[in-house]
Copies of this chain bind each other. A is one copy, B any other.
Amino acid sequence: MIITETTVREQIVATADRLFYAQGYNLTGINQIVEEAGVAKASLYYHFPSKEDLCVAYLQRRAEKWSAKLQKFLTGTNDPRECIIKCFECRSEYLIENNYSGCSYIRIIAEMPQRSKKINQRAILNKEGQRRFFIEKVKELKNTSGISTVDLANIIFLLFDGSTMQSQVYRDIAPVKNAIKALKVLI
C-alpha cells in the first residue's frame, strides 16, 4: 500500500522537521519524535538507519520548503535587482512564519562543530545553492559598484545569512530590513 508507506515516512520527517527546527537537533530525542509523530520506534529505524540520517532528510526538506516558497514569491518578477530584494522580503515572511527559528543549516553547524560529516556536507551543499542563486542574479545586473560580480554576490549572501541569524537572535525582522537598505546602496 503506497499511501501508507509514504504517509508514515512523511509523517516522521515532518515531525522531525518541526521539532528539530523549533527545539534544536541535540535537544530533540528520538522518543519525542516517534511519540508526536504517532509511529512506532521500529518504523522510524526501518526508514532511517540513524538519527543522523533523519537529520539529513530534515535539512533537505527545509531546503525544499524554502526553495518552493521563494519560487512562488518571485513569480512574475524578471528584473534581477528586484529579484534579489524580493528574496530578502521572502526571507522576512519565512522567519515570521517559522517563529524566528533562523537558518536550519547554520544552526546545525553551530550545534555540531565537526561531529557528523554527512550532516555537515548536506548543510554546506544547501548553503552553496543559496549562494549560486545570488551569483546568477548578480550576473544579470549591470554592475556599477566597482566590485567584481562574485564578490558582490558574496556580500549579498553575507547580508542574507547575517540578517537571518540576527533575526533569530532578536526575534525581529529589523535586521532583514537593514539588509535591504544595504542592498539598495550596493546594487
Contact indicator A111/B26 (Cβ below 8 Å): yes
Q: List CB contacts (< 8 Å) of A22-49 with chain B.
A: 22-24, 26-27
- The residues of A with any CB-CB pair to B shorter than 8 Å are 22-24, 26-27, 101-102, 105-107, 109-113, 115, 123-124, 127, 145-147, 151, 154-155, 157-163, 165-166, 168-170, 174-175, 178-179, 181-182, 185-186
A147-B185, A155-B182, A186-B186 given; 14 more Cβ-contact pairs under 8 Å:
A23-B113, A26-B111, A27-B115, A106-B110, A124-B169, A155-B178, A158-B159, A158-B162, A159-B159, A160-B162, A161-B165, A162-B163, A162-B165, A182-B182
Q: List 18 A-B contacts (CB under 8 A).
A: A23-B113, A26-B27, A27-B111, A27-B115, A102-B110, A106-B165, A124-B169, A147-B185, A151-B181, A154-B178, A155-B159, A155-B182, A158-B159, A158-B162, A158-B166, A158-B182, A161-B166, A162-B163
